[in-house]
Every structure is written in structure tokens, then in C-alpha cells.
A and B are shown apart, each in its own frame.
Chain A
Amino acid sequence: MILRRSQTTLRGYLDTALAWLDNTTLLGRSLRWYLTSWPLGLVFLLLALLLPVLVDLPTLTAAVSICIYAMLALGLNIVVGYAGLLDLGYVAFFVIGSYTVAVGTGGILQNAQDHAFNIPTYPFWLLLPLAALLAGIFGVLLGAPTLRLRGDYLAIVTLGFGEIVPIIFQNLPFFFGQFGMSALPPADINNIPLLGSITFSDPLNVTPFYYLALAALVIVVLAVYALRDSSLGRAWIAIREDETAAAASGVNLVRTKLLAFGLGATVGGIGGALNAAFVTTIAPSDFNFGISITILIMIVLGGIGSIPGVILGAAILRFFDVYLVSTVSAALQSNSTTSNLLAGHDINQAKLLIYGIVLLVMILLRPQGLIPNRRRSRELKGIGASVEGASAVGLLEREEAGLDVPVEDTLDETAYAGSGSDAQGGE
């Protein structure tokens, strides 16, 4: 244990604390490891499992929503955080997943009681994988034409896609337009050994649905970890860092990017399916650009590319959204004397403003997010910046050091890669 008494700054105390955590061992591991690695995740999982006995109904309802949005954020994080493709239309896959469940559980029948035709209904457990599959297919369909686009251009196209999909559902008569559709929760399961029966349809007992959403989230988390630590995860990061070098190292750009879009969308579809089954009524107006942006803000707030960060970001924003806003609004409306300024105002209307401020503050003060991803924070700090930049710096440093630096051909590749600028003109 290193104690450096001379250090009086906060930084010094922090370093000391970290050193203590590093140097104090428990069962052969440092304390810091326990606080930053999977044991901490396990603690949170245990807390999550105990949540239904710890909190009241509104909080648990918020927790279901947090699980669903954490899933969505993790799915978008594959596309944005790993592959580095800015997707502003992620809501489209949420919509597709939601409507798959609504249509499949007979939402059409319910809305069209005066229609006599007999539309078959399917169990939720069949529709959930179907929603994932359909969303995944649409993810690939969106990805395919945008493979050559990057940055702003990709963002615009995906934004358009995210706008188009809800509008399609709004305008096709089959989906009952702006009235939306009903979806049924998963059918109740009776006579399970030891457990008795599980009732998903009781709005006053969301515990079974909470465990369903939590289980789905845990599976998604494990899948995302597995992907991140795989050759595919490395390929995504390689593409994000330098597409040309990745391709020259054997990364199939088309396949790898489409897998990012497809897998991200699949998770979005699962989230949508759970969402539809949980809220039981969906309408196109529920799915707007604001959702795509909110999910993106969750990622930025928590830390792009960081799985625990993204979950934390989703938890904070969603808790704020469904729980705090309604509680605070109710308090404001019932007791208008507490504040003249806020009395009678609906915080819901200021929600996006607050999100915007959150985003601004994060970008300015802590762009790497609350729980940063190590690699991403390096990028944001400009360590080992872009390829061209990095090697230019390298050459300059060496030039200053008086080393032999050939300047010939440095423009060869980059100049040609542009619009065929006159690389030979000076000769």
C-alpha cells in the first residue's frame, strides 16, 4: 500500500484509493478487479433479480421499460459503437418488432370487430423469434444500399429509413393507421412444476414480465460480450479504425458491415416485440425520430462501445422518462404552490430539451461517457488519431529528430484516392 502524504489534491486521493484497490488482494485478485469486472455485474444481476420484492409497481414497470431500452441501446451500440456506423433510424426495427407481435397476436381482429374474417393468431413465443428475424432482414436491407456511405451521409439515409417505416405502418390500411393496434402479452403458462403458473397478462402484477425482459436483456448482454470478444468484434473495430487497412487485412467489408446492421436490428426487433407485448397497444405515433435519438443519447451518456455504460445510460434516461417525469409532474400538478415557475407545467414537454442539455453537457465535459470504453476514450483524446494524422505526426517527429525522411510519394495514395487531383502537376 502506497501512501503519498504529500499529495493533497483530489487527484492524489483518487490515485491513492486506486492504488489501494490495486494492491489489496482478496483470493488472489485485486479489489479493483472485483469492482470493475464480472463480479460487480453479478451483484447487479442479483439486485435485479430481487427487484420485484424490493420496489413498488410503478418502479417495477419502469424497470421493465429499462430492460427493453437497455436492449435497444445495446443493439444500436453494435452498429454505432463497434462498427462506427452512425444509424439515426434505429426506431424502424423497434417498429417492425412491435408490429410483428401486434399483427401476429391478432391485433387486427381486435380492432376490426365488425370484420368477419378469421385471422389466425400465433403464440408470442413464436412471434418473438419472428420479430427478431424480420427486423434482422430489414437491417440487412437497410445496410446493403448504404455500404458505401459514411458519417453524415449514412446518418441521413438511416434517418430517412427510420422516418419511412412508421409512416408505412401509419398509411397501410392493414395496420389501422394512426389508431394503431393491440398486441397481446405472452399467453399465461399454467402448471409449471414448483412455480405453479405464470401470468403475463395481469397489469397489476408485472413481475413475470419483468423477469422475461430481464432474461432477454441478460441473453443480449452475453451475446454482445461474445461478439465483442470475437474475430467479428475485432473486424468491426478494424473497420471503424481504417476501412482500407481492414479490407487489406482480410476483413470482408460488405459482410462485416451487414452483420453489424443485421445483428443490431435483430436486437431492436426483440426489444420491439417485448415492448408491444408489454404496453399492449401500439400506434405509429409512438415511434418517432425522438426514439432513435433517445437511444443514441443513452449510448453517448453511458459511454460509446461500453456495455455496462450503455446499460447505465439506458437505465438513467428511461428511469427519468417513465418514472421521474410522471412522479414529478403529478407532484407539481397536485401542489402548485411549491414552485411558481414550474406549477402546472408538464415536464414531458421539456423532456427532449432536457435530453438535449444532457447530450451537450456530456459532449463538452465527458465525451467518453459515464463508464467509458478504454479504446473509445483513447480515440476521443486523440491518441493514435486517424491513420493519416498519426503517420503524419510520426513523420514530423522524425523530421524534427533529424532523421532521414523521404517526402516522395506521401501524397501518391491519398491524392489519387480523391477526385484524381493532379498528383504529377508539380513535376
Chain B
Amino acid sequence: MDTSPAQPATMEAPSPARAARPVILDVTNVTKSFGGLRAVDSVTFDLRQGEIFSIIGPNGAGKTTVFNLITGIYKPDVGQIVFEGRSINGLTPDRVLRRGIARTFQNIRLFNNMTVLENALVGQQIRFPSDLASVMLHLPNYRRAERQAKARALELLSFFGPSLVARQDEYASSLSYADRRRVEIVRALGSAPKLLLLDEPTAGMNDAETAEAITYIQRLRREFNLTVLLIEHKLQVTMGISDHIVVLDYGKKLAEGVPAEIQQNPLVIEAYLGRKAEV
């Protein structure tokens, strides 16, 4: 079962430019097992403010599990996840979101029987007053929140151009595949996150759509002042836009570094290209 290389993952000293940036997310020694399977095995990495950071690795490497651990869908068995200096271990997903981490899903999980606008509004759930009286009686503070949320939702939809705004009252399931991915990002942005986790944002997209996705991921970072954590399979995407990459294989960290280093790392090449020959 465990065919991962015996060599420990090398910890290169961060480049001076990277070291100068403050750490926003610190994942230390995190392990998660399901039954006898170690889906994530002592993984350690850190994200710096404002960077685009990619997690890559072959199928079943534990990338999405890392996302689920960070966003509170799973709790780590061992290890620490610290966001902006505070531990987020064991927080529920909505609490993690309140701290400033939003995500999308690999297999788009929109609320299909809600409209585009409603999806965007659910993303802003944490901005609404939570006391029952305000909500039930639509008190002024609730109405203000609703007004602001709608305005904000339209503003976020217009990030992707006028077409999504025009479709605000259509059901999410009636949108094209690429538009559904966009609405999911709008939903995630609704909470005004500091860190955005994108799980394969270009999965199932053709070359033109992929190129567009690359552009908007960079725009997201710039316009919303985001740090982006990316899971991506297309190497042309990760290599093109990542500041930093960590490679997972069989739940373990195989390598870490800037794209140029990763491309030349023999372990990575083996994991990606030499894997089939070994079976």
C-alpha cells in the first residue's frame, strides 16, 4: 500500500521575497486517517499573505482532504492548523468562514434549486443579523443587511462581466458549466474572505475557458486582496500562476518550492510520469 518514497520531504529555505511576507495560514504536521488509510500524513506547509499557492499531486493524493481539513469539514487527527495566528483546529465550517477562509468545491456544489442571486446571498449569510426578532420581523437592521447583501451580490456577479448579472434570477442548475463555477466563486466571495480555497477551478473546462480562469484568479487576488490556495491538475495552470507549490503523493508531502524547482524535481517527475511504469 505505502509505496511513497522513503526520502523525507525536503524543506527548502524560503526565498527572501517569500520570507518577507507574513504567514497567513500555517499547517503543521497534519494527519487524517479514514479507517486504515492515511489520507493526509504529517503534512506541513505555510501560506504567505497575498500569494497564489498550489497543491498538486496525483489522484488520491489527499489534496481535497487537506481542503476539508482547513475548512472544518474534517477535524485533523494530529497536527495544527493556524490561521492569522489563531488555531482553527476543530472549528465548524461556518466558524472557519467567519475567520476569513472561503472555498469552492471540486464538483461544483451550488444550491441548484436556488437562483443565482440567492446563491450569492447565501454566501453572505454571516453578514446578516442572527437574532430571531430581527430576522422574523424584518427589523430595520435586517432590512439594511438584506439591501447591502443584494447590492454586494450584484457587484460580485459583475466581477465576471454583465452576463451573470443578467441571469441573477435564473436557477443555478440552468447555467453553463463555466458559469456555475463562477457563481460558486461569487458565493465564496460573499463572506469577504482573506483566504480563498479553489478546488480545481478549471476542471472540465476547455482551453479558452481555462485561460480565462487563469486571468480571473489573478484578478481575484488583486481586486479582493486575497491569498489563494489552489488545487489544480493542469500543470500549465499551476506552473503559470503559482507563487509557490506543494506536491502531495499518497497523503505525504513530496516536495515544495517555486514552480521552476517543482518542474525539475525528480521525485515529482516520477510521481507524475514514472508512476504507471511501477505498477
Contact = CB atoms under 8 A, between A and B. Distances in A.
Interface in A214-258: 223, 226-227, 230-232, 234-235, 237-238, 241-242, 244-255
Contacts of A249: 97, 122-123, 125, 187-188, 190-191
A227 B65 CA distance: 36
Contact of A390 (B65, B173, B207): B173
A108 B37 CA distance: 62
Contact of B111 (A237, A252, A404): A237
A427 B35 contact: no
Nearest to B173: A384
B183 to A, nearest CB: 12
A173 interface: no
Choose among A230, A249, A388, A424 the residue with the greatest number of B CB atoms under 10 Å from its CB.
A249
A246 B250 CA distance: 29
Nearest to A230: B135
Given A226-B138, A234-B121, A259-B132, A248 B204 contact: no
Interface stretch (B14-22, B23-31, B55-63, B154-162): B55-63
Contacts of A253: 92, 94
User: Which of A387, A398, A405, A424 has the most B CB atoms < 10 Å from its CB?
Assistant: A424
A379 interface: yes
B137 A234 contact: no
Contacts of A254: 92
B241 interface: no
B111 A245 contact: yes
B73 A226 contact: no
B113 interface: yes
A383 interface: yes
B118 interface: yes
B94 to A, nearest CB: 5
A28 interface: no
A394 interface: yes
A79 to B, nearest CB: 16
Contacts of B207: 404
A248 B71 contact: yes
Interface stretch (B77-85, B100-108, B221-229): B100-108
Interface string A380-401: 0001110110111011011000
B107 A413 contact: yes
B47 interface: no
Nearest to B37: A420
B11 interface: no
A410 interface: yes
Given A227-B135, A235-B122, A242-B111, A406 B73 contact: no
Given A251-B94, A427-B275, A420 B187 contact: no
Give the secondary structure class of A's interface: helix
B213 to A, nearest CB: 12
A40 interface: no
A244 B118 CA distance: 17
Contacts of B113: 237, 241, 375, 378-379, 383-384
Contact of A231 (B34, B64, B102, B146): B146
Interface residues of B, number: 77
Please tell me the size bucket of the interface on A: 35 or more
B94 A404 contact: no
A378 B115 CA distance: 12
Interface string B119-147: 00111111010101001111000100110
Interface string B193-204: 000000010011
Nearest to B34: A420
Contacts of B121: 231, 234
Contacts of A421: 34
Interface in B165-198: 171-174, 177, 180, 187-188, 190-191
A409 B56 CA distance: 11
A416 interface: yes
A165 B146 CA distance: 40
Contact of B200 (A226, A409, A422): A409
A423 interface: yes
A56 interface: no
A391 B107 contact: yes
Given A383-B171, A413-B64, A232 B135 contact: yes
A207 B177 CA distance: 58
B98 interface: yes
Contacts of B105: 245, 248, 413
Contact of A398 (B107, B177, B210): B177
B211 interface: no
Nearest to A397: B177
Interface of A: 223, 226-227, 230-232, 234-235, 237-238, 241-242, 244-255, 259, 375, 378-379, 383-385, 387-388, 390-392, 394-395, 397-398, 403-406, 408-413, 416, 419-424, 427
30 contacts: A226-B137, A230-B135, A232-B135, A237-B118, A238-B111, A245-B109, A249-B122, A249-B191, A250-B94, A250-B122, A250-B125, A250-B190, A379-B113, A384-B173, A387-B108, A390-B112, A394-B204, A398-B177, A403-B206, A411-B60, A412-B106, A413-B68, A416-B39, A416-B64, A416-B68, A419-B34, A420-B39, A423-B39, A424-B250, A427-B3
Given A249-B97, A413-B64, 20 more contacts: A230-B136, A231-B128, A234-B122, A235-B125, A245-B110, A248-B97, A250-B124, A254-B92, A259-B132, A378-B173, A384-B113, A384-B172, A398-B204, A404-B204, A404-B205, A412-B62, A412-B64, A413-B65, A422-B37, A427-B275
Interface of B: 1, 3, 33-37, 39, 58-60, 62-65, 68, 71-73, 92-94, 97-98, 102-103, 105-114, 118, 121-126, 128, 130, 132, 135-138, 142, 145-146, 149, 171-174, 177, 180, 187-188, 190-191, 200, 203-207, 210, 231, 233-234, 250, 275, 279
